[in-house]
Every structure is written in C-alpha cells, then in structure tokens.
Amino acid sequence: MQTAITRLLGIEHPIVQGGMQWVGRAELVSAVSNAGALGVLTALTQPTPEALHDEIRRTRSMTDRPFAVNLTILPTLKPVPYEAYRDVIIESGIKIVETAGNNPAAHMPAFKAAGIKVIHKCTTPRHAVKAEQIGADAVSIDGFECAGHVGESDLPGLILIPATVARLRIPVIASGGFGDARGLVAALALGAEGINMGTRFMCTQESPVHENIKRAIVENSETDTCLILRSLRNSNRVARSALAQSVIDMERAGAGIDQIGPRIAGAKGRRVYEEGDTEAGIWTVGMVQGLIDDIPTCAALIQRIMAEAESLVRDRLCGLVG
Ligand SMILES: Cc1cc2nc3c(=O)[nH]c(=O)nc-3n(C[C@H](O)[C@H](O)[C@H](O)COP(=O)(O)O)c2cc1C
C-alpha cells in the first residue's frame, strides 16, 4: 500500500508510531521500524541532549531502517534546553523529525538546512495550515480521541481529518483513535495518507512499559480516560484513576498549577510505566484502548493491520460497488 507518506518517509507501510514520553525508546522504535512502519524516539524522555545522542546510537544498532525523533515543545515545570536537543538531532544525522506542541518555527530553518523532513503534529486545521506555511513536509492531525494533548477545540477525527486535508497541499497523517485496519482504511477514505498510533504501540511486546499497564489497557474500555488541565487550557487525555479525578476536583475548586503541579509531575508518571502501579502517577492513554484486546509484537500488529486493510478494501469495499 503505497501513499504520499510511504514515499515521503521511505517506509513500507503508511503507519507511524507517535512520540511517547517514557515509552518512545530504542526497543519500541527499532521494532516498529524493523516491521516497515516509522518508529519515533521521544527526545525529552532522555534526561540530557547527550543521552539523546546515545539513544539514537543505540536505536541505530538495532535497526537500519528509517526512524524519527519527536521534539515536543510544551510548557513544562522545568525549563528544557530545546536548542541543544535540536542540535543533537541534526548532528546525529536524523532525517525525519516529529514536532508537537507549540509552533516549531524557531527550529525550522535549522531542520530544513540539514535536509530533515518535518512532520508537525497539531489538533486544528488552523495550526496545520500554519505548519505548512512555515515549511512542514507533512502534518499529523490529532483528533479529540487521542492520548495526551488534545488541544482545546474538541474536534473528533471524523470532522478534523477531512477538514484538514481540504486545506493543505502537504500530506496529512490521521492520528488519535487508530488501532486496527478499520481505522487505517477509514483514515484513507477521509483523505489521509497514513495513520499515527500511540496507545496501540504502547500495548505491544516491545513497548518498555510494565506488564500491568499493558494489561490495564487491554481491560479498560473506551470510557476509561478523562481530561485533566482543562482549566489551564492545557487539556491532556489520561487514564481515568483516583489520582486523575483528584486533579479534576482541584481544578473545579480553582487550584492553579502551583498546587496541581506536584500531583502531575512527570517523574511520577514515569513510575507508573516502570513499576506498574496505575495510581503512582498520571499516565497517558487514548480512547482507542477500548478497541485493544491483545499485546502483540510490533511486527505481528503491523502485518495484521496491513493484511486486514487489504481484505477490507478488496472484499468489503470493492464488493459494495459491484
Ligand atoms: C504514553 C503516551 C505518551 C505520549 N507522549 C507524547 C509526547 O511526549 N509528545 C507527543 O507529541 N505526543 C505524545 N503522545 C501522543 C502520541 O504521540 C499520539 O499523538 C497519540 O497517542 C495518538 O492517539 P492514540 O493514542 O489514540 O493513538 C503520547 C501518547 C501516549 C499514549
């Protein structure tokens, strides 16, 4: 299945693994890329730019296929040396970058000068148009279903994807709520050139998160997520938990980031993934968990999606038009 995205990125299948804090490490990224999709390392999972350099080297030792690095530009409790991370990405010879969060314009000239293809991930057609104007090569458009930062416009994929495709010339990757062949075929029908998946890849054999968390994803339904930080216009879709509910209650009572900050600290979220305690911190997951009922290898998952997508198109869709 060749699309504008497989051609742009030099990959076999039109599937991208979105950047994931604490999850997008060499083990998962190399498994996704080895299976013919695009693995994406998460720059800020590494504590320093030097550590990112080492992680890129480690990933290269595990795959000779293309992989990307995600640079997420968002308000953080501690300042992040973004320029230093960017320079490591460039110096390491990475050829594909996924940017997300705030406008990446400040980093664009350096990426372009290095011949890097930039996929910008955003949640509204307006931001997608802006990304095209500042030189992005593709846009990943993240619907309200997605894990993590959903934005403040609450646009579900069914509207967001075709609305974005209609306004851009560069290829669009559909993101948020994708986990199987039905989603891939639907995304292509909506005009996207591929899909981006986070939650689905978090629940694979090679994903470096604790078995308890993978099992929780399998057991949880589509209603087991909630939105925190809405009151701060930094809405984040996370697993429904007692801790997440306590944050929502604090927001309703008018608490600010000073009070909420300690509860949502990234270090606690990291403990969830490492120790498997779903209440140790806030953890990120999307509504698509309701469609996930196994923990396959990345290769088995990608092969299944591609085989079922082909048969959906050939048998079901072609059959409908005779
Ligand atoms: C555990 C987890 C961590 C994430 N961390 C990031 C991140 O650091 N930067 C980012 O751009 N997106 C992040 N995302 C969002 C994904 O890249 C992707 O856009 C999203 O998961 C798509 O929705 P889906 O989960 O329904 O597939 C994260 C998602 C998950 C599940």
Banded model confidence at residue 76, pLDDT cuts 50, 70, 90: confident
277's enclosing H/E stretch is none
Instruction: Look up the CATH number of domain 4-210+292-321.
Output: 3.20.20.70
Ligand 1 midpoint to CA 320 (Å): 35
Q: Which residue has the tokens 């209609």?
A: 166
C-beta atoms surrounding 279 within 10 Å: 13
Ligand 1 midpoint to CA 142 (Å): 9
CA–CA–CA angle 14, 310, 31 (5° rounding) = 40
Ligand 1 midpoint to CA 314 (Å): 31
Ligand 1 pocket, 42 CB below 6 A? yes
Residue 243: closest CA among 280, 294, 285, 277 = 280
Residue type, 292: I
Residue to substitute in 15, 16, 17, 21 for testing ligand 1 pocket (most ligand atoms within 8 angstroms of CB): 21
pLDDT tens-digit profile of 18-27? 999 999 999 9
Ligand 1 pocket, 269 CB below 6 A? no
291's enclosing H/E stretch is none
pLDDT tens-digit profile of 256-281? 999 999 999 888 899 999 999 999 99
SS3 138: strand
- Taking the CA of residue 285 as reference, the ligand 1 atom at the shortest distance is 31
What is the strand order of the sheet 138-142 is part of? Answer: 15-17, 194-197, 172-175, 138-142, 117-122, 96-101, 67-73, 39-42
Ligand 1 pocket, 197 CB below 6 A? yes
* Dist CA 248 CA 184 (whole Å): 33
pTM above 0.75, yes or no: yes
Per domain, the residue ranges of the chain are 4-210+292-321, 221-284
Ligand 1 pocket, 121 CB below 6 A? yes
Extract the tokens encoding 4. 């504008």
Exposed / middle / buried, residue 194 (Cβ in 10 Å: 0-12, 13-18, 19+) = buried
Ligand 1 midpoint to CA 259 (Å): 25
Ligand 1 pocket, 225 CB below 6 A? no
pLDDT tens-digit profile of 165-217? 999 999 999 999 999 999 999 999 999 999 999 999 999 999 999 999 999 99
Ligand 1 pocket, 199 CB below 6 A? yes
> What pLDDT was estimated at residue 240?
98
C-beta atoms surrounding 271 within 10 Å: 17
Q: What is the dihedral of CA 31, 238, 270, 221, to 10 degrees?
A: -60
Ligand 1 pocket, 143 CB below 6 A? no
Q: What is the mean pLDDT of the chain?
A: 97
pLDDT tens-digit profile of 121-131? 999 999 999 99
Residue 38 DSSP symbol: B
